[in-house]
């Protein structure tokens, strides 16, 4: 895997948010200098990477100058972040990846974006998303290999962080849209518990699945950003693996895992055991059979409601995947929807029991390294289950595949245990180094 740091101009943009904070706190740099280095990198690399939906350098620099002129508001004061273009910004257009909303200018920020502004962060620009966060690629490039998928749907957020254009990005996950692109692009991705990061003001697509996600180049950066968004101190990183109970979960989709993901999981299990963790296998409870079908029923029915206006007024402009999903969902009746919902409740209960016996689950982030296919719908088999269960997930880019592409390890925790699973992931990332 070539070192992306050597491509294009490199300066402050090569550092993590945590490293930049230290420099800002020590008055060794300014927000303007950081933003300038990010903009230089973007100017050099964006023609290839294509990860931005909207970026106005002057808007970004104006924010940075304002940050430098005032006292620090939070740990992340002055740090730039990219926002997936599925989230509203009052000062930048928001198109949700759709031609229907081309040049659409929302009147208000999605709540988390407002929280970032209040914390003194610089909203650098909008990162490209697929159309309404559907799994159909839109031409964002994987910085490690342009012939391979960057993952969907938070493709722009993942690629921009991986390519050192920005230290942090906001994304979302309704199927696999955070963990998948983070793993394919080789960065840290965190999908919150369904309600683990505020969803106020989100333009919903599937309210029971639409989850916030964060991208960074270190787990510590994820902890810092989550802390700013929740207003609480982060849990201290777990430094000692001894006694930590780790469940290895191959899931019912194990047959879809390619050798690099199989090797990553086994290697991680060995390393964690060597570091003192109590590692044991965890079987997916029997009730999980057919969970993919329940996912499809819920996802389709919720999309039909959330996209009712677009489906009514703009159906022909929607991509084929969205049209097919909406058409299929029309055949789902209320009884099927209720049955699927109840099935999920049973699975959530069964998973809570699994977590009574372990502190975290480790499982593949993806079927394997980024596929050499930049047009097809990608495989979110190792992500959809966790989205549906509402549990927090972190992908750590600790491994490499046969083609030199990044391979992630996914750490999963119980619903609501976000702080703990991030703290634990810091320890796991260290143990895998």
Active site residues: 84, 153, 177
User: For its own copies, which is the closer residue by CB, 65 or 258?
Assistant: 65
CA angle 6, 8, 10 (to 5 degrees): 70
User: For its own copies, which is the closer residue by CB, 208 or 400?
Assistant: 208
Q: What are the CA-CA distances from residue 218 to residues 242, 362, 429 (Å)?
A: 22, 18, 9
Secondary structure of residue 400 in the 3-state scheme: strand
Say if residues 214 and 395 touch (Cβ distance below 8 Å): no
User: For its own copies, which is the closer residue by CB, 171 or 364?
Assistant: 171
Binding site for its own copies (CB under 8 A): 66, 70-71, 73-74, 90, 107-111, 114, 117-119, 193-195, 197-202, 204, 207-208, 210, 229-232, 302, 305-306, 308-309, 338, 341-342, 344-345, 348, 390, 415-416
User: For its own copies, which is the closer residue by CB, 48 or 290?
Assistant: 290
Secondary structure of residue 84 in the 3-state scheme: strand
d(Cα 29, Cα 77) in Å, to the nearest integer? 12
d(Cα 355, Cα 424) in Å, to the nearest integer? 14
Secondary structure of residue 47 in the 3-state scheme: helix
**Backbone CA torsion sign across 81, 84, 87, 88:** positive
Q: How far is the CB of 357 from its own copies (least distance, A)?
A: 16
Q: How far is the CB of 345 from its own copies (least distance, A)?
A: 5
Q: How far is the CB of 245 from its own copies (least distance, A)?
A: 19
**Backbone CA torsion sign across 262, 267, 272, 278:** positive
User: For its own copies, which is the closer residue by CB, 119 or 185?
Assistant: 119
**CB atoms near residue 429 (< 10 Å):** 20
d(Cα 385, Cα 391) in Å, to the nearest integer? 9
Q: How far is the CB of 119 from its own copies (least distance, A)?
A: 8
Q: How far is the CB of 133 from its own copies (least distance, A)?
A: 14
């Amino acid at each position: 895997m070539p070192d992306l740091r050597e491509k294009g101009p490199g300066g402050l943009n090569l550092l993590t948010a945590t490293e930049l904070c230290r420099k800002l706190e020590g008055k060794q740099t300014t927000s303007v200098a950081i933003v300038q280095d990010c903009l230089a990198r973007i100017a050099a690399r964006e023609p290839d990477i294509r990860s931005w939906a909207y970026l106005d350098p002057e808007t970004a620099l104006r924010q940075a100058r304002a940050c430098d002129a005032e006292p620090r508001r939070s740990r992340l004061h002055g740090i730039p972040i990219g926002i997936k273009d599925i989230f509203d910004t009052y000062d930048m257009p928001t198109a949700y990846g759709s031609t229907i909303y081309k040049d659409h200018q929302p009147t208000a920020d999605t709540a988390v974006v407002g929280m970032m502004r209040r914390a003194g962060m610089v909203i650098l620009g909008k990162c490209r998303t697929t159309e309404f966060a559907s799994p159909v690629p839109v031409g964002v490039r994987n910085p490690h290999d342009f012939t391979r998928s960057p993952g969907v749907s938070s493709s722009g957020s993942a690629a921009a962080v991986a390519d050192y254009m920005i230290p942090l990005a906001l994304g979302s996950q309704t199927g696999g849209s955070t963990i998948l692109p983070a793993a394919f692009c080789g960065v840290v991705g965190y999908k919150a518990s369904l309600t683990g990061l505020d969803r106020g003001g989100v333009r919903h697509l599937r309210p029971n699945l639409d989850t916030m996600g964060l991208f960074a180049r270190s787990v510590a950066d994820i902890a810092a950003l989550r802390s700013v968004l929740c207003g609480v101190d982060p849990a201290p990183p777990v430094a000692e693996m001894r006694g930590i109970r780790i469940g290895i979960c191959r899931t019912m989709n194990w047959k879809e895992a390619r050798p690099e993901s199989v090797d990553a999981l086994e290697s991680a299990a060995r390393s964690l055991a060597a570091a003192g963790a109590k590692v044991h296998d965890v079987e997916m409870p029997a009730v999980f059979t057919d969970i993919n079908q329940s996912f499809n029923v819920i996802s389709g029915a919720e999309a039909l409601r959330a996209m009712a206006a677009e489906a009514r007024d703009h159906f022909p402009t929607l991509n084929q995947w969205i049209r097919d999903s909406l058409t299929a969902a029309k055949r789902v009746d209320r009884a099927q929807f209720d049955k699927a919902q109840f099935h999920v409740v049973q699975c959530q209960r069964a998973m809570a029991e699994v977590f009574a016996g372990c502190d975290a689950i480790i499982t593949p982030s993806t079927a394997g390294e980024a596929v050499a296919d930049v047009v097809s719908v990608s495989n979110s088999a190792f992500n959809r289950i966790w989205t549906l269960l509402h549990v927090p997930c972190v992908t750590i880019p600790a491994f490499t595949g046969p083609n030199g592409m990044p391979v992630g390890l996914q750490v999963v925790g119980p619903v609501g245990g976000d702080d703990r699973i991030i703290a634990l992931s810091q320890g796991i990332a260290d143990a895998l180094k």
